[in-house]
């Protein structure tokens, strides 16, 4: 395969160093190349730091209004069932403004692959609190640290999805070190395979670094994912109907 035939176009991405978006997108691209599905895949680009995703993927991508990723992905898949559809979004997008759509999409069991980047902040708009911001975590809108008395507890979407009958695959993974990256890629692969084989809704949550708005160095940000985030957001497979 020549570089031009690969899903991820040659060249640099705009993400900050150590950003989880870059790692996740390269993994999605590698899986698409390994499965040979680039030419029949349609992805969604979110509003968030990954807004320029369409510049990096050498396949059809539709930019979605903030929060509307699950609806757009549903529409594409229902109109073009022979295409492979991946929905990609962040915690502000899929769990805040788009939460209702995200839950209903999962509950309907749409035959799509949803990749959710949980970096515990609104990255693109400057690091505001997200639904997944940890208790005590400082953001520009929670300068003293998030307090559950004011804003509730961080949303654990995999656990919520596990109460629904329809999703066929639910896994939370992370990209802060090589072993976790390997497992993350396997989960992404399975989430695509399920769709290709017509099984239904597959969901992969990726615990992901945002060193810039966490105000951390790269190493510290990776440790924050592995220690702080993973202790609240359990890294595990919640469901795999295919075993």
Ligand X SMILES: Cc1ncc(C[n+]2csc(CCOP(=O)(O)OP(=O)(O)O)c2C)c(N)n1
List contacts with ligand SF4 (CB under 6 A). 15-16, 19, 21, 49, 119, 123, 210-213
Q: How far is the CB of 97 from ligand X (least distance, A)?
A: 6
* Segment near ligand X (CB under 6 A); pick from 108-116, 123-131, 141-149, 152-160: 123-131
Query: Cα separations (Å) of 161 from 29, 86, 193, 222, 233?
Result: 26, 18, 20, 26, 14
Question: Is residue 93 a contact residue for ligand X (CB under 6 A)?
Answer: yes
Q: Pick from 221, 233, 82, 227: which is nearest to 158 by CA?
A: 233
Select the residue interacting with ligand X from 47, 76, 112, 225 (CB under 6 A). 47
Q: Which of 85, 91, 101, 194 binds ligand X (CB under 6 A)?
A: 91
Residue 93 contact, options ligand SF4, ligand X, Mg ion, none, Cβ 5-8 Å cut-off depending on partner type: ligand X
User: What is the DSSP pairing of strand 237-240 with strand 169-174?
Assistant: antiparallel
**119 contacts ligand X (rule: CB under 6 A):** yes
Q: Do residues 211 and 120 make contact, with C-beta atoms less than 8 angstroms apart?
A: no
Alpha helices (H) in the chain, listed in sequence order: 20-35, 53-56, 69-79, 91-92, 99-108, 148-151, 157-161, 178-196, 211-214, 218-224, 230-232
Among Mg ion, ligand X, ligand SF4, none, the one that 86 touches (CB under a kind-dependent 5 to 8 A) is none
Are residues 201 and 106 in contact, defined by beta-carbon separation less than 8 angstroms?
Answer: yes
Name the token pair of 30: 């590698």
125 binds, among Mg ion, ligand SF4, ligand X, none (CB under 5 to 8 A by kind): ligand X
Beta carbon of residue 49, minimum distance to ligand X (angstroms, whole number): 4
DSSP letters along 82-95, please? TSEEEEEEEHHIII
Nearer of residues 154 and 200 to ligand X, judged by Cβ = 154
Q: Which is nearer to Mg ion, 195 or 208 (CB)?
A: 208
Name the site residues for Mg ion (rule: CB under 5 A).
90-91, 119, 123
The rounded distance, in Å, linking the Cα atoms of 187 and 204 is 7
Interface residue with ligand X, options 29, 43, 48, 167 (CB under 6 A): 48
Q: Which is nearer to ligand X, 97 or 160 (CB)?
A: 97
CA angle 91, 213, 52 (to 5 degrees): 60
Per DSSP bridges, beta strands 121-122 and 128-129 are antiparallel
Contact residues: ligand X, CB under 6 A: 46-50, 66, 90-93, 97, 117, 119, 121-125, 130
């Amino acid at each position: 395969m020549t570089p031009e035939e690969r899903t991820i176009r040659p060249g640099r991405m705009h993400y900050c160093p150590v950003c989880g978006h870059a790692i996740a997108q390269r993994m999605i691209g590698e899986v698409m190349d390994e499965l040979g599905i680039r030419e029949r895949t349609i992805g969604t680009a979110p509003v968030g730091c990954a807004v320029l995703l369409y510049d990096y993927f050498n396949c059809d991508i539709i930019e979605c209004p903030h929060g509307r990723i699950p609806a757009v992905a549903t529409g594409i898949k229902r109109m073009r069932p022979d295409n492979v559809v991946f929905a990609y979004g962040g915690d502000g997008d899929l769990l805040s403004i788009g939460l209702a759509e995200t839950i209903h999409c999962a509950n309907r069991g749409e035959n799509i692959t949803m990749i959710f980047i949980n970096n515990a902040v609104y990255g693109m708009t400057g690091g505001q609190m997200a639904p997944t911001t940890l208790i005590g975590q400082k953001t520009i809108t929670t300068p003293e640290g998030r307090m559950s008395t004011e804003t509730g507890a961080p949303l654990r979407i995999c656990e919520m999805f596990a109460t629904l009958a329809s999703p066929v695959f639910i896994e939370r993974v992370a990209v802060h070190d090589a072993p976790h990256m390997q497992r993350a890629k396997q989960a992404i692969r399975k989430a695509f395979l399920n769709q290709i084989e017509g099984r239904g809704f597959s969901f992969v949550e990726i615990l992901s670094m945002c060193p810039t708005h966490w105000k951390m160095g790269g190493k510290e940000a990776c440790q924050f994912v592995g220690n702080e985030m993973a202790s609240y957001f359990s890294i595990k497979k919640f469901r795999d109907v295919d075993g």
